[in-house]
C-alpha cells in the first residue's frame, strides 16, 4: 500500500469553527489531491497540488483552502465549517493512477 496517512481520522466540530485536515505521504509524489465523498455524489475534487506551494481548485473548492509547504504534507482547511461540509474526506496521490489515504470522517454540527 502507498504510504499515505490522514489525520484526524474522525472529527466532530461545530458550525463556524475552523478545521484543518492533514494528509501525509512517504512516496515523495509530486501530485496530491483532496476529495470529498457524499452519498449520491461520488468523489468530488476539492483542491489539488502539483508541487510545493503549487495548488489549484477543483470542482467544489468554495469554503476550503489548502497549503503545501513540504512535498510530504498537504493540508485542507475549512475556515468556518458549515453543516454542508459534513462528509468523508480523502487525500490521494498520483498523476495517472491515484492512491488514496484512509479518509477522515468529519461531522459539523
Partner 1 sequence: RKEVEQDPGPFNVPEGATVAFNCTYSNSASQSFFWYRQDCRKEPKLLMSVYSSGNEDGRFTAQLNRASQYISLLIRDSKLSDSATYLCVVNPWGDKIIFGKGTRLHILP
- The residues binding partner 1 (CB under 8 A) are 40-43, 45, 48, 58, 90, 96-103
Minimum Å gap between C-beta 68 and partner 1 is 17
Closer to partner 1 by Cβ: residue 7 or 82: 7
Closer to partner 1 by Cβ: residue 74 or 100: 100
Going by their DSSP bridges, the two strands 104-108 and 87-93 should be labelled as: antiparallel
Closer to partner 1 by Cβ: residue 18 or 102: 102
Closer to partner 1 by Cβ: residue 10 or 18: 10
Minimum Å gap between C-beta 11 and partner 1 is 15
Minimum Å gap between C-beta 44 and partner 1 is 8
Cell of 78: 475549512
Residues 6+ apart with CB under 8 A from 89: 6, 21, 34, 35, 36, 37, 46, 76, 103, 104, 106
- Look at residue 53 and give its three-state secondary structure: coil
Q: How far is CA 62 from the centre of its chain?
A: 13
Minimum Å gap between C-beta 16 and partner 1 is 28
Amino acid at each position: 500500500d502507498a504510504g499515505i496517512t490522514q489525520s484526524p481520522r474522525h472529527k466532530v466540530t461545530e458550525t463556524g469553527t475552523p478545521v484543518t485536515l492533514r494528509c501525509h505521504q512517504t512516496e515523495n509524489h509530486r501530485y496530491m489531491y483532496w476529495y470529498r465523498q457524499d452519498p449520491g455524489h461520488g468523489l468530488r475534487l476539492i483542491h489539488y497540488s502539483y508541487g510545493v506551494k503549487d495548488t489549484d481548485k477543483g470542482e467544489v473548492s468554495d469554503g476550503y483552502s489548502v497549503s503545501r509547504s513540504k512535498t510530504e504534507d498537504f493540508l485542507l482547511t475549512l475556515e468556518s465549517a458549515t453543516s454542508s461540509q459534513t462528509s468523508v474526506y480523502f487525500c490521494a496521490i498520483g498523476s495517472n493512477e491515484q492512491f488514496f489515504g484512509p479518509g477522515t470522517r468529519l461531522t459539523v454540527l
